[in-house]
């Protein structure tokens, strides 16, 4: 598999979050027979190519260089710098960078979530009240693209450098200013972008490693979550006892399809 093919393969696995298999059938036949289950699965696989890629996802892949699909180099620099302030870390005490959160966000924005595939995105558009929720025209991916450029512009005019080149203290100040809406962006409030950036950062730190973040279970180890284990019948009544087994992901002990 060449590098590009590998990306497509990984992306097919990752993009399953947020996708929906759609089908239509008329059925009036016995249910529960194994033949039927197999047929259902084959139908689903034919209907949606990414499902057929799933079977291949579990195979061991050789290490690949973590790159980017959605972000430009400058955008990626911003996201790395910002997420490193949101969840700081070191090699011994992993944070967003060590957990590959920027890579996770890149993959998410390149997929159905970034495109707002499931959201209602038709006009007419109006600002609405706070209680009426999200009323921006931008998809999450568009929000990042516009906001990063605008915040880098702000940083250049305020500090003479782009965000990634500021001191940590200045970077924190810019994040606070975004959250407090003290930075004015043209198309939407800075707070809207901060909210989505912080949400996606937490997702990348705490979701199953198969999505590319939470590398080596960094987030789960920090808090003590053992992963999606199936059975606690024996443990539920062992009150006050720590759970002994190490974290496991949906893809197993390695956690990641990337095997980085």
Partner 1 sequence: MATRLKPVDVVLVGFGWTASIIAQELTEEGVQVLALERGVDRATVPDFATTHIQDELKYAVRNGLFQAPMRETLTFRNTRDQVALPMRHLGSFRPGAGVGGAGVHWNGQTWRFLPDDFIWRSHTEERYGAGFIPADLTIQDWGVTYDDLEPYYDRFEYLCGVSGKAGNLQGSKQSEGNPFEGARKREYPLPPLERSVGSLMFDKAAKEMGYQPFAAPAANTSRPYLNPLGVQMGQCTYCGFCEWFGCGNYSKASPQSTILPVLLKKDNFSYRTGCDVTKVLLDNTGKKAKSVIYRDLEGREYEQPAQLVILCAFAQHNVHLLLLSGIGEPYNPFTNTGVTGRNYAYQITSSVEAFVDELINPYMGAGALGQAIDEFNGDNFDHGPEGFIGGGYIALWTTGGRPILQHHLPKDAPKWGAGWKKAMAENYLKSVAISTHGSVVSQRGAYLDLDPNYKDIYGNPMLRLTFDFHANDYKMSAFLTDKAEGIAKAMKPRSIDVKKRKGPYSIIPYQTTHNTGGAVMGDDPRTSVVNRYLQSWDVHNVFVVGACNFPQNAGYNPTGTVGALAYWAADAIRSMYLKNPGPLVQA
- Residue from 7, 6, 15 nearest 114 by CA: 15
Query: Interface with partner 1 includes 27 (CB under 8 A)?
Result: yes
Query: Six-digit token pair at 163?
Result: 């965000």
What part of residues 180-209 is at the interface with partner 1 (CB under 8 A)? 198, 201-203, 206-208
Please report, for residues 33, 141, 153, 165, the alpha-carbon distance to residue 110 in angstroms, rounded to integers and kept in the order given.
39, 7, 24, 26
Query: Interface with partner 1 includes 15 (CB under 8 A)?
Result: no
User: Which member of 129, 157, 160, 245 binds partner 1 (CB under 8 A)?
Assistant: 129
* The one segment of 67-75, 126-134, 141-149, 153-161 that binds partner 1 by CB under 8 A: 126-134
User: Which member of 35, 49, 63, 124 binds partner 1 (CB under 8 A)?
Assistant: 124
User: Which member of 11, 17, 50, 61 binds partner 1 (CB under 8 A)?
Assistant: 17
Query: Interface with partner 1 includes 41 (CB under 8 A)?
Result: yes
Spatial CB neighbours of 192, under 8 Å, sequence gap ≥ 6: 136, 143
Query: Six-digit token pair at 30?
Result: 């016995």
Q: What is the C-alpha separation between 248 and 256, in angstroms, rounded?
A: 10
* The one segment of 62-70, 123-131, 142-150, 181-189 that binds partner 1 by CB under 8 A: 123-131
Q: What is the C-alpha separation between 73 and 57, in angstroms, rounded?
A: 28
**Residue with smaller CB distance to partner 1, 72 or 252:** 252
**Residue with smaller CB distance to partner 1, 3 or 37:** 37
What part of residues 209-248 is at the interface with partner 1 (CB under 8 A)? 211, 219-220, 222-226, 228-233, 235-237, 239-243
The CB density around residue 10, as the number of other CB atoms within 10 Å, is 21
What part of residues 152-171 is at the interface with partner 1 (CB under 8 A)? none
Q: CA-based Rg of the chain, rounded to a whole angstrom?
A: 21
Q: Which residue in this structure is represented by tokens 């999606």? A: 228
**Residue with smaller CB distance to partner 1, 48 or 185:** 48
Q: Are 239 and 246 in contact (CB under 8 A)?
A: no
């Amino acid at each position: 598999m060449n590098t590009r093919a590998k990306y497509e393969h990984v992306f097919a696995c990752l993009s399953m979050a947020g996708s929906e298999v759609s089908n239509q059938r008329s059925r009036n036949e016995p249910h529960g027979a194994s033949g039927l289950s197999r047929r259902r699965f084959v139908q689903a696989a034919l209907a949606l190519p990414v499902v057929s890629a799933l079977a291949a996802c579990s195979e061991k892949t050789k290490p690949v260089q973590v790159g980017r699909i959605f972000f430009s180099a400058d955008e990626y620099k911003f996201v790395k710098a910002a997420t490193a302030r949101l969840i700081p870390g070191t090699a011994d005490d992993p944070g967003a960078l060590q957990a590959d959160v920027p890579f996770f966000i890149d993959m998410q924005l390149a997929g159905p979530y970034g495109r707002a595939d499931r959201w209602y995105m038709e006009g007419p558009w109006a600002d609405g009240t706070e209680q009426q929720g999200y009323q921006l025209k931008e998809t999450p991916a568009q929000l990042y693209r516009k906001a990063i450029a605008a915040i880098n512009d702000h940083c250049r005019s305020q500090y003479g450098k782009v965000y990634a080149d500021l001191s940590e203290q200045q970077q924190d100040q810019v994040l606070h200013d975004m959250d407090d809406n003290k930075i004015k962006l043209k198309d939407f409030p800075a707070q809207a972008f901060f909210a989505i950036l912080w949400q996606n950062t937490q997702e990348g730190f705490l979701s199953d490693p198969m999505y590319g973040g939470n590398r080596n279970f960094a987030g789960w180890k920090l808090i003590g979550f053992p992963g999606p284990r199936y059975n606690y019948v024996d443990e539920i009544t062992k009150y006050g006892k720590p759970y002994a087994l190490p974290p496991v992901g949906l893809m197993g002990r390695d956690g990641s399809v990337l095997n980085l």
